[in-house]
């Protein structure tokens, strides 16, 4: 632990500690978890010279305020869903290393597009790891609890030198999300043309969305087969179709097994984008052959 | 003799996983044991279930076709004995249970047994942990006496106490922590089912065999 810490002044709707998650425990019922937009957290870590497995704060819908505590000058960076960043009320650049002194308050406004922003701090958030990860898993309750006002997060030792950059170019999430899917594994539970319907329709992300998954609203994806599918392993990005025909898109904290057929799975490269889908956003799918 | 076990199919589950379909749990666990004993390059996670094994891989290391080929080879190479009794890394776990659950009388009524007979039927089999899910450390145990195949409660409980031993839908399970749940509660155990500081953190690991023993004076004394 370094001599630095972050005091949580305000959390916004939801702020959690995230890193690359805890792969390898699924057969014990533990989701992978980790940052919903992994590349965004990775970029924030790079901007402050952290190792790729360092933990940061995932901020949902902005609203986070943290006060830096320590001596000298320390660094932080904000990436992911873009929004106003201020340090002591003064506008500060997005996706750039920000110098902080003791007592400085960094604040994230609501995102102008996308959903989740990431705060990395030089040295990383140094809460105790659980099963090799500091990620908050909202489904299983593993890792630190969601942040609360008054919490203090310890900050670790720097892993490497600060990179010599002023800012990193990054694209903002779109207003309408176009995601590539691979059909299956249970597309044969649906009539011919179901994957085409999935890809032709314009879906709406409902307000029932969190780190576990997003319930989508659109045309009914009717099943061809009746009966129950014995529970089987699930992956992040799976589009699971419950009996009401409205798919659920699984994100980082998804259940490891499930009993509804999965019509298609997101291309892995598009999974981070799915982590940026806000409620109400339009979502379209495009079938990709691997 | 090595007749192999039929791999009924390999389905794509995105670009970083496949779902291998097998005849049943013994074949699933045997294939899993083979992959754990000698892990194919790039394969980083296995999720067994009743009739499937989800195989996750790193697409920067291996690919769909290679994984599919490896699974076919491994399945073909399994001996009949491996499938009948997949090699497990852990001894049979004995779980002491106080059969004082709030649903014991109801399960007795549903099955036409006395409460004591429910306990006798529940403690008789050697169970196998089929797969995990629902919560960390929650194992779905197969081997339940068919008489005890009762449906879930129509109205799930909002809070099932940690350590509750329960049956539903042909499975037996133990709630590792307090959570909502719709299974029928037969009793409770103090066994430490989940401890993230232990390796493995779960007592109920896929493939492990389990017995329940009745302890103390419960509703059945």
- Model confidence band, residue A166 (pLDDT cutoffs 50, 70, 90): confident
In this structure, what token pair is assigned to residue A218? Answer: 């659109």
Give the ranges where chain A is alpha helix by DSSP (H): 38-47, 194-200, 271-274
- Write the burial class of residue A261 (CB in 10 Å: 0-12 exposed, 13-18 middle, 19+ buried): buried
pLDDT for the residue B3: 57
Out of B12, B15, B132, whose CB is closest to A256?
Answer: B132
**pLDDT at residue B2 above 70?**
no
Q: Are strands B209-214 and B93-97 parallel, antiparallel or unpaired?
A: parallel
Looking at per-residue pLDDT, the higher value among A168 and B2 belongs to A168
pLDDT for the residue B80: 75
Contact predicate B113/B137, CB 8 Å = no
User: Left if phi > 0, otherwise alpha if psi is -120 to 50, otherwise beta: which for B170?
Assistant: left
In this structure, what token pair is assigned to residue B212? Answer: 């329940």
User: What's the pLDDT tens digit per position in A60-107?
Assistant: 999 999 999 999 899 999 999 999 999 999 999 999 999 999 999 999
> Does residue B39 belong to the interface with chain A, where contact is any CB pair within 8 Å?
no
Distance between CA atoms of residues B46 and A24, nearest Å: 8
**pLDDT at residue A247 above 60?**
yes
pLDDT for the residue B133: 84
**pLDDT at residue B192 above 80?**
yes
Nearest to B53 by CA among B8, B2, B3: B8
Delineate the domains of chain B, giving CATH numbers in brackets. 7-77 (3.30.1360.40), 93-217 (2.40.100.10)
**pLDDT at residue B1 above 70?**
no
Q: Mean pLDDT, to the nearest integer, of A123-143?
A: 96
Nearest-Cα residue of chain A relative to residue B200: A28
pLDDT for the residue B217: 56
Q: Mean pLDDT, to the nearest integer, of B98-116?
A: 96
User: What's the pLDDT tens digit per position in B137-191?
Assistant: 999 999 999 999 999 998 889 999 999 999 998 999 999 999 889 999 999 999 9
pLDDT for the residue B95: 97
Contact predicate A256/A26, CB 8 Å = yes
Rg of chain B (C-alpha set): 19
Chain B residues with CB under 8 Å of A257 CB are: 47, 49, 131-134
> Does residue A192 belong to the interface with chain B, where contact is any CB pair within 8 Å?
no
- Model confidence band, residue A127 (pLDDT cutoffs 50, 70, 90): very high
- Model confidence band, residue B78 (pLDDT cutoffs 50, 70, 90): confident
Sheet bearing B17-21, strands edge to edge: B9-12, B17-21, B52-57, B43-48
Weakest mean pLDDT among A31-40, A160-169, B75-84, B114-123: B75-84
Distance between CA atoms of residues A186 and B13, nearest Å: 9
Chain A residues with CB under 8 Å of B54 CB are: 26, 232-235
pLDDT for the residue B4: 66
pLDDT for the residue B51: 93
Distance between CA atoms of residues A234 and A38, nearest Å: 19
Distance between CA atoms of residues B75 and B26, nearest Å: 12
Percent of the residues in chain A that have a pLDDT greater than 90, as a whole number: 88
A235·B59 Cβ contact <8 A: no
User: What's the pLDDT tens digit per position in B19-63?
Assistant: 999 999 989 999 999 999 999 999 999 999 989 999 999 999 999
Percent of the residues in chain A that have a pLDDT greater than 70, as a whole number: 99
Chain A residues with CB under 8 Å of B140 CB are: 231
Q: Which H helix or E strand runs over B43?
A: strand B43-48
Residue B49 Cα, gap to closest chain A Cα (Å): 5
CB pairs under 8 A between A and B: 121
> Does residue B68 belong to the interface with chain A, where contact is any CB pair within 8 Å?
no
Supply the ipTM of this predicted assembly: 0.93
- Model confidence band, residue A239 (pLDDT cutoffs 50, 70, 90): very high
Chain B residues with CB under 8 Å of A256 CB are: 47, 132-133
- Model confidence band, residue A229 (pLDDT cutoffs 50, 70, 90): confident
Q: What is the pTM of this model?
A: 0.93
Q: Mean pLDDT, to the nearest integer, of A166-186?
A: 92
B13·A184 Cβ contact <8 A: yes
pLDDT for the residue B221: 40
Among A21, A25, A28, A31, which would you mutate to test the B interface (most chain B Cβ atoms within 10 Å of its Cβ)?
A: A28
Q: Are strands B171-174 and A116-121 parallel, antiparallel or unpaired?
A: unpaired
B16·A268 Cβ contact <8 A: yes
**pLDDT at residue B79 above 90?**
no
- Other CB atoms within 10 A of residue A94 CB: 21
CA B197 to chain centre: 22
- Paired strand residues for B17: B56
Tell me the C-alpha to C-alpha distance, in Å, between residue A124 and each of A23, A190, B72. Answer: 20, 46, 43
pLDDT for the residue B81: 74
- Model confidence band, residue A32 (pLDDT cutoffs 50, 70, 90): very high
**pLDDT at residue A290 above 60?**
no
Distance between CA atoms of residues B204 and B174, nearest Å: 9
């Amino acid at each position: 632990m370094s001599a630095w810490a972050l005091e949580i002044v305000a959390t916004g709707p939801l702020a959690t500690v995230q890193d690359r998650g805890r792969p390898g425990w699924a057969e014990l019922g533990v989701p992978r978890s980790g940052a919903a937009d992994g590349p965004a957290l990775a970029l924030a870590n790079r901007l402050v010279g952290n190792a790729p497995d360092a933990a940061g704060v995932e901020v949902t819908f902005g609203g986070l305020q943290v006060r830096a505590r320590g001596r000298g000058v320390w660094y932080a960076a904000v990436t992911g869903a873009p929004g106003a960043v201020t340090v002591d009320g003064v506008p500060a650049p997005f996706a750039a290393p920000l110098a902080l002194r003791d007592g400085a308050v960094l604040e994230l406004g609501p995102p102008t597009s996308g959903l989740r922003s990431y705060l990395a701090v030089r040295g990383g958030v140094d809460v105790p790891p659980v099963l090799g990860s500091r990620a908050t898993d909202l489904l299983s309750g593993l890792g630190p609890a969601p942040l609360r006002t008054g919490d203090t997060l310890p900050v670790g030792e720097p892993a490497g030198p600060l990179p010599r950059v002023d800012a990193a170019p990054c694209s903002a999430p779109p207003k309408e999300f176009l995601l590539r899917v691979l059909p299956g594994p249970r597309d044969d539970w649906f009539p011919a043309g179901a994957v085409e319907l999935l890809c032709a329709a314009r879906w709406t992300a409902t307000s029932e969305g969190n780190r576990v998954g997003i319930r989508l609203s659109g045309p009914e994806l009717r099943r061809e087969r009746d009966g129950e599918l014995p529970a089987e392993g699930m992956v992040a990005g799976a589009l699971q179709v419950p009996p009401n025909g409205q798919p659920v898109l699984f994100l980082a904290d998804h259940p490891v097994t499930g009993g509804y057929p999965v019509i298609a799975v997101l291309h892995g490269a598009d999974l981070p984008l799915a982590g940026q889908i806000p409620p109400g956003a339009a979502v379209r799918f495009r079938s990709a052959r691997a | 003799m090595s007749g192999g076990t039929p791999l009924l199919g390999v389905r794509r589950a995105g670009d970083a996983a496949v779902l291998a379909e097998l005849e049943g749990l013994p074949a699933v666990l045997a294939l899993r044991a083979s992959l754990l004993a000698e892990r194919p390059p790039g394969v980083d996670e296995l999720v067994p279930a009743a009739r499937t094994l989800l195989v996750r891989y790193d697409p920067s290391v291996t690919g769909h076709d290679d994984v599919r080929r490896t699974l076919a080879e491994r399945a073909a190479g399994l001996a009949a004995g491996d499938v009948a009794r997949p090699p497990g890394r852990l001894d049979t776990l004995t779980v002491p249970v106080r059969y004082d659950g709030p649903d014991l009388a109801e399960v007795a009524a549903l099955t036409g047994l006395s409460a004591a007979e429910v306990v006798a039927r529940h403690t008789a089999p050697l169970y196998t942990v089929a797969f995990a899910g629902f919560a960390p450390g929650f194992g779905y145990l197969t081997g339940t006496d068919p008489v005890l195949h009762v449906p879930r409660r129509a109205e799930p409980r909002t809070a099932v106490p940690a350590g509750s031993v329960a049956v539903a839908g042909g499975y037996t399970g133990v709630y590792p922590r307090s959570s909502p749940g719709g299974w029928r509660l037969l009793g409770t155990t103090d066994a430490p089912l989940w401890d993230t500081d232990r390796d493995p953190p779960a007592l109920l690991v896929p493939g492990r065999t389990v017995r329940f023993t009745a302890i103390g004076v419960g509703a059945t004394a």
